[in-house]
């Protein structure tokens, strides 16, 4: 039997420390374990705000792929290259990996969101297979982007199994893991923490600052609230396990998630969660694992967090809910098997 060969096209460096790139790395590794040859094709340039140079570089990269090659393209690039995908669809066996539609990023100017949506809808017409990371995103693609269910596979991110945690948690240690961008709602989190400044807590915000203007705004909010000694930005960290192990509550006031890998990692560590009921988050976090409140509602977020910080029974119940939810999470081998089947369908 011929060994399957995949060209996996990603914008920029696949080692970039975000959930989406982490998913890509895990899928590539999993396919290799199944005997696939996986070649990473890194596209230079700026995504999703593409320019002429970026498009030219992508055209060159795709032109170098041999006829009839099996190609999986990360959605951050696929959605921004509709014309190129149209030109290549007859020559290559194209699959798209959609973490979430780019127009759903949040905080985008209306004109930009509309352009992203139109381009992604056009690009998706040229994919022989579409893989997405949650049922919520799948419904969004079929209902709003015209994707046929016959072309669609849902492959939720896997979660590393963690041993049972038997030590006492310090619930005053709050942890947020997310890129520092508007969609992740750090401004809502800071405002919520301001409302519970009377309580004992400290917060570690882990993730890359990908928008320096946004980061400067958050720094001003924290300083103005007098919380600079209680909220720490750590930057990206290579090993998150110590963070999850030492934290007491996971907090993330996101405005949208195509899945929510950080939420799943928190559940796997047995952490109670305060988050937002947006996108696919309710698929990942059950009500008994903490609280999901409306997006952009600092008061509701603060109230939910106050309850976990102050009420022993509520905290213990949420921790047990997180532990039980973790047992139902898929592993990366499950994710890879779904991706492999979808690719095999168009690779024949």
User: Strand 273-276 relative to strand 249-251: parallel, antiparallel, unpaired?
Assistant: parallel
* pLDDT tens figures, 218-235: 999 999 999 999 999 999
Instruction: Annotate 120-130 with b (16+ C-beta within 10 A) or e (fewer).
Output: bbbbbebbbbb
Residue 103 pLDDT more than 60?
yes
pLDDT (average), residues 159-167 = 61
Those residues whose C-beta lies under 8 Å from the C-beta of residue 168, and which sit 6 or more positions away, are none
Domain boundary assignment for the chain: 5-158+331-347, 173-327
At the topology level of CATH, where does 5-158+331-347 sit?
Answer: Rossmann fold (3.40.50)
Phi-psi region of 273 (alpha: psi -120 to 50; beta: other; left: phi over 0): beta
Residue 294 pLDDT more than 60?
yes
Alpha-carbon separation of residue 154 from 157, 209, 256, 342 (angstroms): 10, 30, 18, 9
Q: What is the pLDDT of residue 108?
A: 83
For residue 166, what pLDDT band results from cuts at 50, 70 and 90? very low
pLDDT (average), residues 308-315 = 96
What's the pTM value of the predicted model, to 2 decimals? 0.84
Residue 163 pLDDT more than 90?
no
Distance of CA 5 to the CA centre of its chain: 26
| Tokens coding 286 | 């059950």
* pLDDT tens figures, 177-225: 999 999 999 999 999 999 999 999 999 999 999 889 999 999 999 999 9
pLDDT > 90 fraction of the chain, expressed in percent and rounded? 91
* pLDDT tens figures, 83-92: 999 999 999 9
Average pLDDT, the chain: 94
| Tokens coding 82 | 């509709």
Domains 5-158+331-347 and 173-327 share a fold: yes
- β-partners of residue 41 are 9
At the topology level of CATH, where does 173-327 sit?
Answer: Rossmann fold (3.40.50)
- What's the order of all strands across the beta sheet hosting 5-11? 37-43, 5-11, 70-74, 93-98, 129-132, 152-154
* pLDDT tens figures, 2-49: 789 999 999 999 999 888 999 999 999 999 999 999 999 999 999 999
Those residues whose C-beta lies under 8 Å from the C-beta of residue 243, and which sit 6 or more positions away, are 175, 177, 204, 206, 237
Does residue 48 have a cis peptide bond before it, meaning omega lies within 30 degrees of 0? Answer: yes
Q: What is the pLDDT of residue 105?
A: 84
């Amino acid at each position: 039997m011929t060994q399957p060969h995949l060209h996996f096209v990603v914008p920029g460096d696949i080692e970039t420390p975000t959930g989406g790139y982490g998913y890509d790395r895990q899928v590539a590794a999993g396919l290799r374990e199944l005997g696939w040859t996986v070649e990473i094709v890194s596209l230079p340039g700026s995504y999703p705000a593409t320019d002429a140079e970026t498009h030219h570089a992508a055209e060159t990269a795709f032109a170098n792929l041999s006829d009839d090659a099996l190609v999986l393209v990360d959605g951050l690039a696929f959605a921004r290259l509709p014309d190129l995908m149209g030109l290549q669809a007859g020559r290559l066996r194209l699959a798209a990996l959609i973490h979430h539609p780019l127009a759903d990023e949040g905080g985008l100017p209306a004109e930009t969101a509309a352009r992203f949506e139109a381009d992604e809808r056009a690009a998706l017409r040229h994919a022989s297979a579409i893989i997405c990371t949650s049922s919520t995103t799948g419904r969004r693609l079929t209902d709003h982007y015209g994707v046929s269910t016959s072309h669609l596979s849902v492959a939720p991110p896997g979660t590393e199994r963690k041993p049972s945690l038997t030590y006492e948690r310090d619930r005053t240690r709050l942890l947020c893991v997310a890129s520092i961008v508007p969609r992740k709602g750090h401004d809502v989190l800071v405002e919520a923490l301001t409302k519970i400044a009377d309580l004992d807590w400290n917060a570690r915000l882990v993730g890359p600052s990908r928008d320096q203007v946004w980061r400067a705004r958050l720094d001003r909010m924290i300083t103005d609230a007098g919380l600079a000694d209680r909220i720490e930005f750590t930057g990206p960290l290579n090993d998150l396990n110590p963070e999850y192990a030492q934290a007491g509550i996971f907090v993330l006031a996101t405005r949208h998630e195509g899945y929510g890998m950080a939420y799943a990692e928190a559940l796997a560590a047995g952490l109670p969660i305060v988050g937002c009921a947006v996108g696919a988050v309710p698929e990942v976090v059950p009500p008994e694992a903490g609280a999901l409140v409306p997006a952009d509602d600092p008061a509701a977020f603060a109230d939910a967090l106050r309850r976990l910080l102050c009420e022993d029974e509520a905290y213990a119940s949420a921790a047990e809910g997180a532990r039980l939810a973790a047992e139902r999470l898929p592993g990366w081998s499950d994710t890879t098997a779904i991706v492999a089947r979808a690719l095999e369908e168009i690779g024949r």
